[in-house]
Amino acid sequence: MRVISLNTWKGDGAYGARLAAMTEALVELRPDVVLLQEVLDAPALGLHTGNTIAARLGCHVANLALREKPRNIEGIRADSRSGLAVLSRFPIRSTLSIPLPDHADDGERAALVVEIDAPAGPLTVTNLHLTHLAQNDLRQRQLAAAQQVTKRPGTALIGGDFNAPIESFALNATGWRDCRSELGQPPQSTLTGQPDGPCIDHLLWAGRGRPPKTWRVDLDRLTQDGQPAISDHCAVVVDLAD
């Protein structure tokens, strides 16, 4: 089973071209489950990153709209939201949103929990985007709030944009394991065009059910003028054992 996490960079840059490239790249990667952050939802412009990609992949989709404000999308000012989406090739049994601790300088944060009826047994994935503020204690509290899924049966995963290296989180006391660290792989930048940048996008495994088999970074692509061709974040691609 292949699980991918990707921060889609809202409506920034050349959104239309990026969305097309993002969608086709995900088609080529053939994921079973996709966790998307910074999902643009601009109803007045008929734009929704999560729904567009889900339709092309033939996936079920669960969306959580967050962080409403006007944004510039290829020169057009429009009301929009930047939220979360989980796409699945398998039926979605249930969804749950968990409010996360927030800060006045940051804004609304929440986790999207999705239970999936996968062929080899139930899969629970929690998608989140932790604060960008330089307050690691806030990120720790946000992650702790999302870890309520540990009591659910089957395989449980938490993924998304953590905005910090995994080493800055106290995972040992939680029972959760970083898939990359579990496989003994060194950190790799998850920022597009920054090979020496930090690894801030992660997928955690609860330690039961399907373990991770492989972890890698993909979709690190730039245009000819050096701008992100897909997103300012790379995709994290994890294959789980059957």
CATH superfamily label, 2-240: Endonuclease/exonuclease/phosphatase (3.60.10.10)
Q: Model pTM?
A: 0.97
Where do the structural domains in the chain lie, given as residue ranges? 2-240
Residue pLDDT, tens place only, 188-212: 999 999 999 999 999 999 999 999 9
Residue 153: the pLDDT is 81
Residue 93 pLDDT > 90, yes or no?
yes
The Cα–Cα gap between 96 and 113 comes to 5
- CB burial of residue 226 (10 Å; 0-12, 13-18, 19+): exposed
| Count, residues in the chain | 242
Residue 118 has pLDDT above 80, yes or no: yes
Q: Kindly report, residue by residue over 26-80, the tens digit of the pLDDT.
A: 999 999 999 999 999 999 999 999 999 999 999 999 999 999 999 999 999 999 9
Cα–Cα dist 119/36, whole Å: 22
Specify the pLDDT at position 150.
Answer: 66
